[in-house]
Structure 1
Amino acid sequence: MAGKASHKGGMTQDMLFAPPEGLAIPVAGDSRQFPLRRIFCVGRNYAAHAAEMGNEVDREAPFYFTKSAHALCLSGATIPYPPGTQDCHYEMEFVVAIGAPAFRVTKADAMQAVWGYGCGIDLTRRDLQGAAKDKRRPWDLGKDFENSALMAALTPADAFGEIGQQRITLRQDGEIVQDASLGDMVWSVPELIAHLSGYYHLLPGDLIYTGTPAGVGPVQPGSVLVGEIEGLEPVRVTIGEAE
């Protein structure tokens, strides 16, 4: 059955099927929501995490991978253990929400594009990522899958204040497994935005997951993850049985 008609260029077009509903993220203390556009993720942005994975940090420039909008999962959910993997890992992250256009911006001007911040967890099918690395193939199967971009409610930038030494932690079943400071990031938020905007027109609705500290590890059905950053709403998720 055709979806609802849309209007483009003055003409009515019938959809072959209903377009996907818009995805949005709650805002702390506000009834409005932040509509999601794209998800960018920074790799190896904490030196200790790079080391635990047997890698070195590239000090010349940051690097990225992406997740599709369908990867978004809001805090408080219970999700099935991801399909196709025997080794799914948690990665706690500080997330930057873009609220203004940014293209080829300087480091000095980069923060003008920031709307707010949030707690996120990047779930990774580590075995599939590792297999892709061994064959020099893209990481998509390991990183970009349903419910792999966990996200708490966003907090406006002015309510959070300056990015400094805020503590970032993740608890698995009540035990702290990741514990670091935002000051440990190799590439700062202004540096990331300035660099990324040299390759993309960043627009309102884009998210940047800024990398994970050391201490990543596997989840199991029944695992309860709670990620926290000082000044932000925590992100919570329960891992259910595989489908």
Structure 2
Amino acid sequence: GPCAVESRQQIMRIAGEVKRAGAHVLRGGIFKPRSSVHAFQGVGSKSERDAEEALTWLREAGDAFDMPIVTEVRGESMVDLIARYVDIMHIGARNMYDQDLLVEVAQKGKPVLLKRHFGASIEELLSFSEYIAAEGNKDIILCERGIVPVGKGKSYTRYTLDLAAVPVIHNETYLPVIVDPSHGTGRQDLIFDMSCAAVAAGADGLMIETHYNPAEALVDGPQMVTPDELKEIIDACRLLYRTRRTAAHTLR
């Protein structure tokens, strides 16, 4: 789905188009953690009333197209409100280290999507996921979304996707791991290749930002794909997934 929910019309249209493309879960940001205070903060950032209205749009879109919904929880004050509407609660990379937020979200008893901080080791990601599990909530999805590149010079990608993290985490825990190639690269032209690479590495799913007109998106337009492009990615990844499963079974 889109990086940010912009209007009821927008999220309803995108929900229908990504569903037809093959998506299983609808994601849309209501509150956007941004590097600059002057950047768009999300439709829910001005008031609780605006936030709840946007959540009703997201809920309506998910129900209309039979998809569970997920949105990011930016702070503790938003936990109760978001929990009333969403199926999966998302803790973003910037908040991976927020122990109080992890505990409060875990106590809602809903599945939690935990993104790896862009400066965190694999060990830290696993360690902080235990704050959620310690509250009795074992429905945790881990997400690799890229780490800070090493060295200086021209930046070709927004971050560096650490795809080795996928099999490593699978070897260490029962938790599913998904990959976010949108934030991991910051470039629409790399999403197809890195999605396929993630599936080849054993990813259990992908989070791909999608908009029917990326050039007009209020947030992260350069890293979004269109619904038609999403369908091409999903079709290719499904074929690759089946091939990988067959190869793995044969090798074993």
Question: Greater RCO between the two (CA within 8 Å, min separation 6)?
Answer: 1
Q: The TM-score by the shorter chain falls in which range?
A: under 0.3
Give the TM-score taking structure 2 as reference length. Answer: 0.23
Q: Is the helix fraction higher in 1 or 2?
A: 2
Q: Is the strand fraction higher in 1 or 2?
A: 1
Specify the structure having the higher radius of gyration (Cα): 1
Give the TM-score taking structure 1 as reference length. Answer: 0.24
